Amino acid sequence: MGKSAALFTAIAVIVFANHSYSQTAAIPEVAELQAKYDEKVRLDVLRPHELVVADLNAKFATALERVQENAQKAGNLDDAISIKTEKEAVLSGKYMPPQDDAKTPASLKTMRSTYRAALARLELDRDKKLRPLKDAYAKSLEALMLTMTKGGRLEEAMALKKMREDLMANTNASGADMTADPSGKSFTNSLGMKFVQVPGTKVLFCIHETRYKDYAAYAVDAPGADSAWKNQKTEGFVLDRPEDHPVTRVSWEDAQNFCAWLSKKEGKTYRLPTDQEWSYAVGIGREEKWTKDTTPATVFRSETDFPWGNKWPPPKDSGNYSDQSRKDKAPAKNSQYLDGYDDGFPSTSPVMSFKPNKFGIYDLGGNVWEWCEDWFDSAKIDRVLRGSSWSHWERENLLSSFRDHHKPVERIGLGFRVVAVEAP
């Protein structure tokens, strides 16, 4: 099977996961329309996408070659080997950037981040080109459904109706084609933010914290937004390429404005997670017993659960916390550091730099504090923050159940992630 056919097959599995596709595939008129649609997608969308990705990979391999040569000239064997291995993976034609870890050379981390951003833009462009083809195909299916109904072929028309609904359900209001699981729940929006379902909730969680580049897109449409988020300097350490890092210096009110903007842009309701939803996402929701009088300040708190499990101190690559890298490159007065722990990042790390949890969600521990929807207590002065950050080392603060709280106008060191509300 060629790459184009394989990619179309993947799309078809997503779009036609429902049994109605198998029912309609045997209808001659549908088979003819499907064949024409397949060919149009292959020629107008998938093949051009393959070519631009191949060009991206070729340019990336060339850039890696130059960096490898520099590492060799500097006598840095480990970096040279890592970059050579990366280059070979790119040239194999089956490349996706692996997650960074403490051993990943800084130059390679930066290059991977740039590659991910470029690939995301290409995939977004591919999805936008697919949309009008799907619309035209859906219109053809609708016309055929009408003909079948008038001709008394009611069961076939009903199966065709379901097929068409499944097709269009996987395209969001902004025109971005949703990359979905067979249940149709998970999706990726037009900014490249991926959302997954979390058992125990009625929302879909973004798998990563809101990125600098996501917030930058919002700021373009909101010129009056506070500009504190643009400053990524920490204890004298400056991020060279912050695009894929979590945005920081964002208040609760700023996050609300972002959610309102994103909801309007995408035609879907986005908001901050509630404190209880966040607990389900990190895996402790069923342990917490909520009543009508419970608040985040009073809810039961597990003293043994961490985002990575129940071991202390955190095992290697558990997340981005106050570590040796911070001590070396961005030390701060009165700060401490986890003994023997080095995540490779002196401040924030690019989102998804560490392993996801069982729901496929990243960075629920470390990186940045994340705003939640709730008031911390009945006084309604402070809003809740969860997840700890890159600047913390204390056992208590790293617990999955720990809650921080700040006034909703405060910004220093604070970020957020969003959830999408499922349609009723």
pLDDT in tens for each of the 424 residues of the chain? Answer: 444 444 443 344 333 333 334 445 567 888 788 888 888 888 998 889 889 989 999 999 999 999 999 999 999 998 999 999 999 988 887 787 776 667 788 888 888 878 877 887 887 788 788 888 888 888 888 898 899 899 998 888 888 887 777 666 544 333 444 333 434 468 899 999 999 999 999 999 999 999 999 999 999 988 888 899 998 888 878 887 899 999 999 999 999 999 999 999 988 899 999 999 999 999 999 999 899 999 999 999 999 999 999 999 999 999 999 999 999 999 988 899 999 999 999 999 999 999 999 999 999 999 999 999 999 999 999 999 999 999 999 999 999 999 999 999 999 889 999 999 975 5
Boundary-marking domain end, from 121, 139, 173: 173
Inter-CA distances, 271 with 107, 213, 283, Å = 35, 18, 20
Q: Which of 274, 307, 270 is nearest to 290 (CA)?
A: 274
Same structural domain, 251 and 390: yes
Let me know if residue 402 belongs to a domain. yes
Clarify whether residues 264 and 312 are in a common domain.
Answer: yes
Residues 120 and 220 in one domain: no
Structure tokens at 137: 């195909």
Domain that holds residue 317: 194-421
Same domain, 218 and 349: yes
CATH code where residue 378 lies: 3.90.1580.10
Residue 184 belongs to some domain of the structure: no
What 3-state class would DSSP assign to 422?
coil
Q: Which tokens is 93 given?
A: 């034609």
162 within some domain:
yes
Crossing angle for the helix pair 212-221 and 252-266, to the nearest 10 degrees: 80
| Same-domain status, 263 and 304 | yes
> Do 104 and 242 belong to one domain?
no
Instruction: Tell me, yes or no, whether 357 and 232 share the same domain.
Output: yes
130 within 8 A of 7, measured Cβ to Cβ: no
Same domain, 75 and 203: no
Q: Does residue 390 lie in a domain region?
A: yes
In a domain, 180, yes or no: no
Residues contacting residue 85 through CB under 8 Å, at least 6 positions apart: none
Q: Whole-prediction pTM value?
A: 0.60
Residue among 208, 175, 174, 182 at smallest CA distance from 194? 208
**Within 222-344, where are the H helices?**
252-266, 275-282, 324-329
Domain end marker among 173, 207, 237: 173
Q: What does the longest C-alpha to C-alpha distance in the chain come to?
A: 80
Same domain? For 123 and 161 the reply is yes
User: Alpha helices of 77-233 — where are they, by DSSP H?
Assistant: 77-91, 106-150, 154-169, 212-221
Q: Read off the DSSP letter of residue 236.
A: T
Nearest in space to 206 (alpha carbons), one of 241, 170, 246, 158? 246
Helices assigned H by DSSP within 180-251: 212-221
Q: Tell which residue, 329, 366, 361, has the closest CA to residue 349.
A: 366
3-state secondary structure of 320: strand
365, containing H or E segment: none
Burial class from Cβ neighbours inside 10 Å (0-12, 13-18, 19+) for residue 40 reads middle
Burial class (CB in 10 A: 0-12, 13-18, 19+), 139: exposed
Same domain, 251 and 164: no
Dist CA 400 CA 283 (whole Å) = 8
Pairwise CA distance, residues 194 & 178, whole Å: 9
* Residue 178 placed within a domain: no
**Is 63 a domain residue?**
yes
Total number of domains in the chain = 2
Q: Do residues 149 and 206 share a domain?
A: no
Same domain? 26 vs 72:
yes
Q: Which two tokens stand for residue 68?
A: 């490898």
The region, left, alpha or beta by phi > 0 then psi within -120 to 50, assigned to residue 192 is left
